[in-house]
Structure 1
């Protein structure tokens, strides 16, 4: 259980949450919602014990499993299976069993053999208390349902794609059996079948669950309570309702607030009008002051009119002039150790062309974009820039952002030709204002990092955009802005996405299928592959 008492959250001078109390108990399935930048990720980090509240206290009993938006994967040389098993300490137990088994087999005398057997028996007892070999099978089932087959589980973390690493972390958290799960955008990088499975898993989870998600299907299937973090009022509205009932009730509440405010303003207006008339007469000055105070109390007792949630105004840059074929790649291949990702991929990007890259998770889609962007070197072949090429790269893991710099410093590095005023104006259009621009990038939520990465892209004057999951971590309004930016961009785009809406906005000319590297003209039959990608 997690209990928050008079919890307050601030970032710099900005208040994200006024003091409030709540709890997450066994059986509670809470959807934490609110617009991007409202503070959902910051609040969740505090509940997980990884952030500091500005007031109040958080008390946790039992194990808390936390999946951040940018999960840490631990030792990159560890096998994926061992990373998942480490949630219950099974990885070290199984390693000891293997070691003691080898010691028994290689023992040269009875004493050494007996000592190894005793150690093996103790490790076997530990394994039994942790769930035995059945627990190992449970971990494998969870992994398989999240799109992590056996061949992936037997690879080191460093050889996996960003999406695979995130799914390993999600599998680890779900396998932990924690008393409370805190999940920040758990459906990122999941295919359609895995999302359906996750909905069922969370809906039947016996512990407490708090989930941040823009997947309304997940919220509808899972949550029994909704916490709405209102960025305008810095308050947490708590609803003991399912998702659809919450939506209806929230609309009722908004209408009630507007009605109460209008009534109070009318009454206050009459009182102030009367006070003004009476104030001219010295004998009635005290009564006039009392009326004015009553008007102020009336207005103070009602919640201010809700300011419409601001949305970043996103428009990709006018592309710089370039040649007819600004980017080509020939005979690209990439392997990580013994794992071959793809071989012999050829690609020619014409000026203004739109290409979508499809393939199952782990097929190398992100790797291909990294090669084209020059972030990684290919094992064979080469990437050749054409006349006037200016690349803009949006990375799904936000690698283009320097987490050791502030928001403003990142933006300045991406736009050396702009002065401070121009940079701040552009950041403002992406909802970074005031003290926000001085925040270190490492504390940004996934949605805020997405906005910053897009802002850096906007000032690039790129004529070829490499977009890797550009709609992840965005609320519906911001997603619509990104889709419109894709729709209206005049340069060339190479897109990797699970979002059918993004492909529809792109209106691709061609499709590149990985890992085989086959190219084809786009046709609607490929749509069903998008959510599986």
Structure 2
């Protein structure tokens, strides 16, 4: 269980939340909502123990399982299976069992007896942790998250970003933690995995806080909603399911507006009366009392809520380019003995729109990284055409310098703009004042997305490589990105699970991985998007 009292959360000097008091008990399934940058990710980091509050107290009872937006997956040489099993310490136990089994084959009697004793101890420890059934449970969770045995047997370094994130999700779900904190758990999941996750969370008996822009997940799972209001720096707590919350919040807004209007009208009447009476010395005290009553009325109402701002996102007018600004010839990529794709040819013509589809692990992100020049292919080469200017949006935001400030990241992407021009563009992406001095590493997932998109806007790119550009965005910001994709005049190569993004792109071609087959776009390919 989590118990929070008078919690204050800040990002630098900016107040995100104050005087928050709540608890998370077994059976509480809480949807934590609010606009991007409101402090949802910062709050969950504090609740998990990875960050400290500015003030207030926090107590934890039992284990807390935390899935951040950008999980760090530990030793890259560890097998995916062992990473999941490590949630209960079973990876070390199974490793000792395997070592003992090998040593039990020794010809030396004393060494064999010692190995048998170690095996007995390790087996007892395994049974205490759930036995071989626990190993099967981990494999079942992984399988439902599209992590088959083939992937579980690979080192983490060979996995795609989406696969590594699903390994971390599987690890958290396998942990048997009493409280789960899940930040955008449906990122990188296909439709079947999302459906399975909904069922898992519905039947989960512990406490749960989930941040998600998947409203279907929230509607299916949560029985409470915590709305983090960025304008007021408070959490509004709704002890109800998602659909009732949406109705109740609208009702609350209407009630607050009525109360505000009534209070302002009464205060105005009192102040007018006080002004009239104040002219007479005999009624000065009464006038002062009326003025105090008016002041009290006005102080007791909430100010009108400023509408949540939305970044104005428009991709740049592309600089001139030749007929085919980007080509790839005979591209292949393997990780050790694992072949990702081989012999892929593609040509990105000026203004063309291409979507890359394939199952998780088929190499979609790897292909974009190769086209962007971040990774080298094992065979073949990428050929830039006349006038090529690339803009690359990475799903894990690795194009950001996380140690540099928001402002410095933008300056590096737009060396021809002066400080005032850069700050103006950042303002349109909702970075203003002290926010531009924050290091990129402290930004939420949604804020990192906005910064990366702002850097694209100033790039003048004529070919955009976009890897899951709508992840971590609230509905309004997602709509802005979709409109930017729809109106961009340059070439786009898109990787996404978002059917709306493909619809906005209106692709003329599709590249299917790992086979590398290229075809004209057809609505028949639409059903592959959510499976990709």
Normalising to structure 2: TM-score of the pair? 0.99
2:332 matched residue in structure 1 = 333
1:230 matched residue in structure 2 = 229
Q: Deviation per CA, 1:60-83: give whole Å up to 9, x if none.
A: 011000000000100000000000
How far apart, CA to CA, are the structure 2 residues paired with 1:262 and 1:395? 47
Determine if the alignment matches structure 1 residue 42 to structure 2 residue 42.
yes
Runs of 4+ in 1 over 6 A off after TM superposition: none
Which SS does the other structure have where 1:286 is aligned?
Answer: helix
How far apart, CA to CA, are the structure 2 residues paired with 1:285 and 1:404? 62
Q: Deviation per CA, 1:185-221: give whole Å up to 9, x if none.
A: 0000000000000000001001111100000010011
Measure how far apart 1:430 and its partner are. Answer: 0.5
Equivalences for 1:429-448 in 2 at 5 Å? 429-448=428-447
Determine if the alignment matches structure 1 residue 116 to structure 2 residue 115.
yes
Measure how far apart 1:434 and its partner are. Answer: 1.1
Which SS does the other structure have where 2:104 is aligned?
Answer: helix
2:12 matched residue in structure 1 = 12
Which SS does the other structure have where 2:105 is aligned?
Answer: helix
How far apart, CA to CA, are the structure 1 residues paired with 2:473 and 2:13? 25
Equivalences for 1:3-152 in 2 at 5 Å? 3-106=3-106, 108-152=107-151
How far apart, CA to CA, are the structure 1 residues paired with 2:488 and 2:316? 7
Q: Deviation per CA, 1:224-259: give whole Å up to 9, x if none.
A: 111000111111011110110111111111111111
Measure how far apart 1:438 and its partner are. Answer: 1.0
How far apart, CA to CA, are the structure 1 residues paired with 2:345 and 2:284? 86
Which SS does the other structure have where 1:18 is aligned?
Answer: strand
2:209 matched residue in structure 1 = 210
How far apart, CA to CA, are the structure 1 residues paired with 2:407 and 2:343? 41
Q: Unaligned stretches of 5+ in structure 1?
A: none
1:260 matched residue in structure 2 = 259
Equivalences for 1:174-323 in 2 at 5 Å? 174-323=173-322
Which SS does the other structure have where 1:105 is aligned?
Answer: coil
How far apart, CA to CA, are the structure 2 residues paired with 1:287 and 1:14? 42
How far apart, CA to CA, are the structure 2 residues paired with 1:348 and 1:223? 46
Measure how far apart 1:295 and its partner are. Answer: 1.4
Which SS does the other structure have where 2:350 is aligned?
Answer: coil
Determine if the alignment matches structure 1 residue 469 to structure 2 residue 451.
no
1:389 matched residue in structure 2 = 388
Measure how far apart 1:14 and its partner are. Answer: 1.5
How far apart, CA to CA, are the structure 2 residues paired with 1:523 and 1:496? 16
Determine if the alignment matches structure 1 residue 509 to structure 2 residue 504.
no
Q: Unaligned stretches of 5+ in structure 2?
A: none
Measure how far apart 1:6 and its partner are. Answer: 1.0
Measure how far apart 1:437 and its partner are. Answer: 0.8
How far apart, CA to CA, are the structure 1 residues paired with 2:278 and 2:325? 75
How far apart, CA to CA, are the structure 2 residues paired with 1:110 and 1:155? 36
1:351 matched residue in structure 2 = 350
Measure how far apart 1:181 and its partner are. Answer: 0.4
How far apart, CA to CA, are the structure 2 residues paired with 1:445 and 1:494? 26
2:459 matched residue in structure 1 = 460
1:377 matched residue in structure 2 = 376
Q: Deviation per CA, 1:20-42: give whole Å up to 9, x if none.
A: 21111111111000111110000
How far apart, CA to CA, are the structure 2 residues paired with 1:503 and 1:162? 21
Measure how far apart 1:342 and its partner are. Answer: 0.3
Measure how far apart 1:282 and its partner are. Answer: 4.1
1:363 matched residue in structure 2 = 362
Q: Deviation per CA, 1:479-513: give whole Å up to 9, x if none.
A: 00000000000000000000000000000000000
Q: Deviation per CA, 1:105-136: give whole Å up to 9, x if none.
A: 12x33222111111110000000000000000
Judge which range, 8-17 or 178-187, deviates more.
Answer: 8-17
How far apart, CA to CA, are the structure 2 residues paired with 1:233 and 1:512? 47
1:401 matched residue in structure 2 = 400
1:490 matched residue in structure 2 = 489
How far apart, CA to CA, are the structure 2 residues paired with 1:291 and 1:89? 69
How far apart, CA to CA, are the structure 1 residues paired with 2:110 and 2:328? 64
How far apart, CA to CA, are the structure 2 residues paired with 1:333 and 1:327? 17
Which SS does the other structure have where 2:19 is aligned?
Answer: strand
2:519 matched residue in structure 1 = 520
Please tell me the root mean square deviation across aligned C-alpha atoms, in Å.
Answer: 0.9
Count matched residues: 532
How far apart, CA to CA, are the structure 2 residues paired with 1:110 and 1:192? 55
